[in-house]
Structure 1
């Protein structure tokens, strides 16, 4: 699941002639690996994240000399990358940041015409791909997690709202305020299985539910929820993909 989204974003970043690329909120470097596969041999890739433990895993598993690591918040990107960067890629994380501050920082490090490529989960963006609507309705793993957390752990889920956290209109407003222009937007579908969904929700930053739970408790809840599903059951996840850029220099 994560592998498909990372390759999709790397492809959209237009890395053929890149010299410096940033993997923003890069975790253990999965997206950096996809970037390295498309970037030229002389390119440099910087993976920035606050999760030191995940970066330690990445340092052990990714040994490409073109890759370096920065432990810092996304909002502080410009303090650690002087630029000019040809592209900044952020996979499955932008909604967890101070979005206006991150967009402003990205503008500071991009070269003119440099690309900023990111995605937003459909639930946060308020979008649904037609493929998702066509799948037979069944309880999602996230819904089962909330139910078990409420039943067994005293969890009080937040009120259900139809208001998206980061819809496209808001994204466009923030991009314009940061001085970035939109190249393309697309709602995509990620086809996977319950088994892959479980693997995704095992990643610490994506573990559920929110609230005052330890990672170990979240994994206990996940195991109980997963036991109520069929591992091979097909699932569809919607994504809003955005390609923006810093405007080119005026001749």
Structure 2
């Protein structure tokens, strides 16, 4: 049983199991059919798993700039998204980017925005750098094109860690160089939706449960943290313990 995980609401499973990733195509298919999706976050030093139904509305991404205003990222899935600069208590709004922001990062006075461009013909993603001007305007520059569309991000120690449908990449915000941390070509079935680091391990929210990456001699060992009621499948892809 897994301990040390805080649940977001009492109706969720109170018992967890750590399992290895699916070994067969059938189990991967059944996993993709699970309707409940989980997100992982860390708050006050505690690791929290939050359930929501697949296809639920994606919450806005908000980055406050002191009392000046807020950068608000909106993600509408296949319908696209936008990044807005919101001031005057929400009465003034200006669109800065016509893309789907998934993560913000701050480094040496600049704000970096990771955007999902998968709704466009070219696909992939991009990293934008925003610099505030004394005039109240923003200087916006695309500083990196990503082959994989980022789905979520996590900032730590001058790096932005991005999760995609093929694994996890680390972006050095100083050099703007990327490096692969972990690859799994089957993650497209899971639609990862969040990524956090806790006590040396990475947790990626997905359907069925949360992916856990633990450092080892060859990189990272992938295991899954799932409700004990969905350790395996029976019948027509029905969760079973």
Bin the TM-score by the shorter chain.
under 0.3
Structure having the higher strand fraction is 2
Structure having the higher helix fraction is 1
TM-score, L = length of structure 1: 0.25
TM-score, L = length of structure 2: 0.26
